Structure 1
């Protein structure tokens, strides 16, 4: 009987690879290396030409695209020639790899390149290389560091959103009257665009002269109910609007986790004499921890991109109190027309997000293992 185990498949691949002629392997590898050298040469020449370092070059970036397509074909052919059957199987992964390189890796590298340019759209000189000057200006930009400080507040606010969403999920998971109706009602804010929310609430309901929220606050004794005049009040108002849009998303994920949780566990806890809080803290919360960690990380990722509500309601004011990094970068592009510096700010922020999320994922994984 034929052995179909994974170990047998590995042995078969090894034997098949050894049967490929050495000349064919060398030819396949050389084909890939040659195509790679051509692509790198075309890319470097174009970069040096655009930056003004050398005169020879291309009028646009189209030859780089052609070189990338030819390199992709050469990579597939070279894999088949050098690896045989394993190379054929690798071709199924090749489109995904090439797509990732085209839409993620190459734009990121191109962003690093733009971040080294002094490129102001309002200038007639055009872009020119300025090294690390944008990075030096970044570290001395108080407004940018103020926006980063605001992001700490907005990110920590996700814990409050999670607590409210968990309470709503527990409520909608219980046997209450009109449960289906309330599920639909609580999901309505998530269906609205943040831009619509910023105008509907920030520019209308919370308008300090005639808005209903300001009128109610004035009737309750607040002499000057300006929600976006004082820094902390403005920051909390922006957070409240963003939370109103985002809490339903957290709630629906947690509700799905609660409904998938085995009922026998809760019934066993009741039999053992656990009250409602004990059942939640020692049974429900630990079981829901993987779902909670997942939805919190997703929500933090979206929070780190917060910009639309800030741009439409306060434009970062008063005095940068409500600014986020994304809204500040937007104003650098719009008001200063500084493409190089704005790209440098975005690249630096991206690196901070990668480091932060990597540390967060590791800490959450250790905590999950410790609790469970």
Structure 2
């Protein structure tokens, strides 16, 4: 065993020099490959494999640096290092590569191929009204998560109560969650809500709606898309809340009833505060999934009418599919990623403070 204090200064210097040399090689290869791919320099790299080799060399040097400089503590760090390096390779590098693609003028329908154009894709993004319309639509879809949560909480309370056929209803309410959103979009959006022969359209006519075109009016179309997505996703929130309710000690709610609290008071003063950690987790996970909403929109409306139902993901998908514009589509995706990171970071801090204030 090597104690940190017993490591010689020369050994530390050797470790630092080894890591510095490997880092320099990695950065140099990354810079040269980027300049070559952008057309600034004609080095002649056939692919990005040299960068992979440089990264592997740097990973080995990092492991050696841990042992040489930190001794026994560094040996223990070697057990965690492969997982950290793998995460860096599959998460950080692709993100950086995405920003690189976002700086290219790369249209698959063009014979010229990709070439560097700086920040022009991002400048075009700020002048694209359809993209900002999709971002505004996401505000509506995200606010609808509150309604989904309220419905899911009500169902969880119902299924947690002593009612008849409780097991049957638990399975029945989970059935939509077992279906693919693509299947739901065709089964409900394309068949059930079809404006000529769909059962929902016929029922609407019987109720007095002369032209029941669910996807012709912007707000009707948004609500219809949200209803389909909520039908698929509410069971997921419900099952998380139901698990939290079943984990609650019954003595607490029984004590509230003994103290004279009615049903609403027991829920608001006891059940809801105790369920806050589970609720926050369920809502945050649902928001993350909602930010990726695309499949139902693509299959049912393709963003119409006039972009009224577009989400950011569905709009980016159409940029790739219809315009074949890889560079611009990637720029939209990278900007959306930055917005998501900022939004979730702020949301986590706000919910943490709010949870503490309620529990206090």
TM-score normalised over the length of structure 1 = 0.95
8 Å CA contact 1:147, 1:328 repeated in 2:
yes
Is it true that 1:48 corresponds to 2:35 in the alignment? Answer: yes
The corresponding residue for 1:370 is 357
The corresponding residue for 2:8 is 21
The corresponding residue for 2:168 is 181
> What CA deviation, in whole Å up to 9, does each residue of 1:244-271 have, x standing for no partner?
0000000000000000001110010000
Is it true that 1:328 corresponds to 2:287 in the alignment? Answer: no
Number of equivalent positions: 359
8 Å CA contact 1:135, 1:344 repeated in 2:
yes
* Residue among 106, 111, 114 paired with 2:101: 114
- Supply the distance in 2 between the matched residues of 1:237 and 1:56 (Cα, whole angstroms): 54
- Supply the distance in 2 between the matched residues of 1:338 and 1:35 (Cα, whole angstroms): 36
- Written as runs of structure 1 = structure 2, the 5 A alignment for 1:65-214 is 65-214=52-201
Aligned to 1:126, the other structure's residue is in SS state: coil
- Supply the distance in 1 between the matched residues of 2:286 and 2:13 (Cα, whole angstroms): 49
8 Å CA contact 1:46, 1:57 repeated in 2:
no
- Supply the distance in 1 between the matched residues of 2:65 and 2:44 (Cα, whole angstroms): 29
Q: How far 1:147 sits from its partner (Å)?
A: 0.1
8 Å CA contact 1:238, 1:309 repeated in 2:
yes
- Supply the distance in 2 between the matched residues of 1:25 and 1:196 (Cα, whole angstroms): 61
The corresponding residue for 1:291 is 278
Q: How far 1:29 sits from its partner (Å)?
A: 1.3
Q: How far 1:77 sits from its partner (Å)?
A: 1.1
Q: Which runs of 5+ in 1 are unaligned?
A: 1-12
- Supply the distance in 2 between the matched residues of 1:137 and 1:324 (Cα, whole angstroms): 19
> What CA deviation, in whole Å up to 9, does each residue of 1:154-197 have, x standing for no partner?
00000000000000000000000000000000000000000000
- Written as runs of structure 1 = structure 2, the 5 A alignment for 1:253-332 is 253-332=240-319
Q: How far 1:298 sits from its partner (Å)?
A: 0.6
The corresponding residue for 1:4 is none
> What CA deviation, in whole Å up to 9, does each residue of 1:278-303 have, x standing for no partner?
10010000100111111101100000
What is the aligned-residue RMSD (CA, Å)?
Answer: 1.0
The corresponding residue for 2:211 is 224
Aligned to 1:320, the other structure's residue is in SS state: coil
Q: Which runs of 5+ in 2 are unaligned?
A: none
- Supply the distance in 2 between the matched residues of 1:207 and 1:69 (Cα, whole angstroms): 55
The corresponding residue for 1:9 is none
Q: How far 1:57 sits from its partner (Å)?
A: 3.7
* Residue among 342, 345, 356 paired with 1:355: 342
Q: How far 1:82 sits from its partner (Å)?
A: 1.1
The corresponding residue for 2:46 is 59
> What CA deviation, in whole Å up to 9, does each residue of 1:289-331 have, x standing for no partner?
1111111011000000000000000000000000000000000
- Supply the distance in 2 between the matched residues of 1:135 and 1:43 (Cα, whole angstroms): 23
